Amino acid sequence: MTELTELTARETAQLVAAGEITAREAVEARLARIGEVEELVGSFLRVDGEGAREMAAGVDRKVAAGEDPGILAGVPLALKDLICVEGREITCGSRILEGFVSPYDATVVRKLRAAGAVFLGQANMDEFAMGSSTENSAFHPTRNPWDLGRVPGGSSGGSAAAVAAAEAAGALGSDTGGSIRQPAAFCGVAGMKPTYGRVSRYGLVPYASSLDQIGPLARDVGDIALLLEAISGHDPLDSTSAPLPVPRFREQLGKDIAGVRLGVPRECYAEGMEPGVEAAFRGALEVFRELGAEVVEVELPRIPHGVACYYILSTAEASSNLARFDGVQYGWRSPAGETLAGLYESTRREGFGEEVKRRIILGTYVLSSGYYQAYYGRALKVRRLIKDDFDRAFSLCDSIVMPTSPTAAFELGARAGDILGMYLSDIFTIGVNLAGLPAISVTGGFDPRGLPVGIQVIAPAFEEERIIRTASAFEGAAGFRDRRPVLPGPRAAGPGPS
């Protein structure tokens, strides 16, 4: 039999449900893999081996009793460290929440439990999802499994690296401006940002509530479809959740795309794009043409303004959302504050990292009296214009295809002093969040250094089926799906975390 860590989520669930392997065996294989490579990669903040084994035992009892174990029977998953899991520590990659134990499950967690999934632990992330490299984690950076001297992307870098390193069969992340798609691209895996409202945000610690969306990361598009089915659906606990039925996304796998019109924005050939990324993207377009798709040029003229718009709106929302971390209700409380105001000030100064402080300050500024309309009000208008650009483009095509990032994974520390350069990492992903659209990143090729290059497929709102169909057809024809990073020899072998 194939090594259990080489199985897709679909294969794992099928074998567990059929009784050919046990959920416990699937989990032990992943825990052993974590024991082998985690010291090198640093995908996780916390691994709960005993909790995972208990969940696996519950799945195995259902199989033995002849009950339906669920569509994700025994599938070992990593969860980004801002998705609440009852009884587990959730820190959002921040010292200010160190030691906080969630008293409840997020809706997506409840859905995954019902589907038979098993939770391995909390994946590393940029603090409060603010970053594009996972270097902003308050605990440790995560390294890219393709090159341990490079970043995995962010802010869901731990989730993407865990899948790429075969530590997990799949993962959940969150995407506010590209935080699922960009690390998926850097780590050579698939990652999807669903339509805003497709997946409940209840139990997701917010960064920017009008932009945040939970989504899956996995080895391939087939697993993305499976995970998306499991977590989608209306939730009365989330007022932004759309009251729509959940399609059977897996039915789109393997369908041809002959005659599909794919729009390529002329703006995607931006200054600063690495030659290797452009070459991989042009090669991907040739694959689409060979599959019978028609590639047409479209325009998204306001894409270059998306970064400025995003960093006004998202930081304004972050300024409000993060006001709850004050040292009074939960999380870190500074011993230095002698007055209530002093407690607030010292707790936030000590608990938040530099990037979080930077964004809170910026967001507070753009919301302040005298500047609100000049910045926040104008950014809202630009956001609407960006959505209008996408609407016009979709009148000419079925889906849009463009690079996920203008570069492949950069070296750790390379952009530590280049804040603007770091923010521009998301220039191709931000517009999708501003417009509330669904998009997936899949591996579109490799650059001359052997680093993965991601391409995005974007569709109109609630048209994830188009994306699954198009991306799976490409993935099957391109031949990149089975390429895996080769990690150095393990430093710590053994049965895995306890």
Contacts of 43 (CB under 8 A, 6+ apart): 34, 78, 123, 124, 142, 158, 159, 161, 162, 165, 167, 168
The residues, any chain, with a CB within 8 Å of residue 124's CB and separated by 6 or more, are: 42, 43, 44, 45, 81, 93, 134, 137, 139, 140, 141, 142, 157, 158, 161
* pLDDT surpasses 60 at 383: yes
Sign, CA dihedral 351-171-240-460, equals: positive
With cut-offs at 50, 70 and 90, classify the pLDDT of residue 272.
confident
Using pLDDT thresholds of 50, 70 and 90, give the confidence band for residue 417: confident
Average pLDDT for 190-219: 98
Question: Tens digits of per-residue pLDDT, 86-128?
Answer: 999 999 999 999 999 999 999 999 999 999 999 999 999 999 9
The region of weakest confidence among 18-32, 64-78, 409-423 is: 409-423
pLDDT for 489 equals: 60
Q: Look up 94 and say whether it is catalytic.
A: no
Residue 448 CB burial class (10 angstroms; 0-12, 13-18, ≥19) = exposed
For residue 352, pLDDT over 70 is answered with yes
Residue 1's pLDDT is 46
CA separation for the pair 38, 46 (Å, rounded): 11
| 13: phi then psi, degrees, rounded to nearest 5 | -60, -40
Q: How far apart are CA 207 and CA 176, in angstroms?
A: 8
- What is the pLDDT averaged over residues 143-172? 98
Question: pLDDT band for position 422 (50/70/90)?
Answer: confident
Name residue 456's beta-bridge partners: 402, 441
For residues 230 and 246, what is the distance between their CA atoms, to the nearest angstrom? 9
90, 97 Cβ separation under 8 angstroms: yes
Per-residue pLDDT averaged across 362-372, rounded? 93
User: Is the Cβ–Cβ distance between 326 and 347 less than 8 Å?
Assistant: yes
> Residue 498: is its pLDDT beyond 60?
no
Is 155 tagged catalytic? yes
Do 191 and 466 form a contact (C-beta atoms < 8 A)?
no
Distance CA 475, CA 323 (A): 43
Query: What does the pLDDT read at residue 384?
Result: 98
CB 327 within 8 A of CB 335: no
Q: Say what the pLDDT of residue 494 is.
A: 38
Handedness of CA 436, 439, 441, 445 (dihedral sign): negative
Task: List, in order, residues 6 or more apart from 115 with CB less than 8 Å away.
Answer: 70, 71, 72, 73, 230
* Per-residue pLDDT at 496 exceeds 60: no
Mean pLDDT across 435-445: 98
Q: Is the pLDDT of residue 493 over 60?
A: no
* The predicted structure's pLDDT at residue 419: 83
State the catalytic residue, choosing from 62, 80, 111, 193: 80
Of 94, 132, 137, 155, the catalytic one is 155
Mean of pLDDT over the chain: 95
Nearest in space to 442 (alpha carbons), one of 452, 451, 454, 430? 454
Confidence of residue 423 (pLDDT cuts 50, 70, 90): confident
Alpha-carbon distance of 291 to 285, in angstroms, equals 10
Residue 203 has pLDDT above 50, yes or no: yes
Residue with tokens 């924005």: 265
Q: How confident is the model at residue 397 (pLDDT cuts 50, 70, 90)?
A: very high
Any idea of the CA torsion for 320, 321, 326, 328, to the nearest 10 degrees? 120
Q: At what angle do helices 221-231 and 464-478 cross, to 10 degrees?
A: 160
pLDDT range class, residue 222, cuts 50, 70, 90: very high
* Selected residue with higher pLDDT from 177 and 370: 177
Which residue type does 305 have? H
492 has pLDDT over 80: no
Query: Is pLDDT at 70 greater than 70 in this prediction?
Result: yes
Which residue in this structure is represented by tokens 């209306």? 234
| Mean of pLDDT values over 128-153 | 97
CATH superfamily of 4-267+273-300+391-478: Amidase signature (AS) domain (3.90.1300.10)
Domain boundaries along the sequence of the chain: 4-267+273-300+391-478, 305-383
Q: Is 387 one of the annotated active-site residues of the chain?
A: no
Q: Which of 94, 133, 159, 179 is catalytic?
A: 179
CB atoms < 10 A from the CB of 35, how many? 21
Q: What is the largest CA-CA distance in the chain?
A: 70
* pLDDT at position 320 over 60: yes
- HEC per residue, the chain: CCCHHHCCHHHHHHHHHCCCCCHHHHHHHHHHHHHHHHHHHCCEEEECHHHHHHHHHHHHHHHHCCCCCCCCCCCEEEEECCECCCCCECCCCCHHHCCCECCCCCHHHHHHHHCCCEEEEEECCCHHHCCCCCCCCCCCCCCECCECCECCCCCCHHHHHHHHCCCCCEEEEECCCCCCHHHHHHHCCEEEECCCCCECCCCECCCCCCCCCEEEEECCHHHHHHHHHHHECCCCCCCCCCCCCCCCHHHHCCCCCCCCEEEEEHHHCCCCCCHHHHHHHHHHHHHHHHCCCEEEEECCCCHHHHHHHHHHHHHHHHHHHHHHCCCCCCCCCCCCCCCHHHHHHHHHHHHCCHHHHHHHHHHHHHCCCCCHHHHHHHHHHHHHHHHHHHHHHHCCCCEEEEECCCCCCCECCCCCCCHHHHHHHHCCCHHHHHHCCCEEEEEEEECCCCCEEEEEEECCCCCHHHHHHHHHHHHHHHCCCCCCCCCCCCCCCCCCCC
Which percentage of the chain shows pLDDT scores above 90?
91
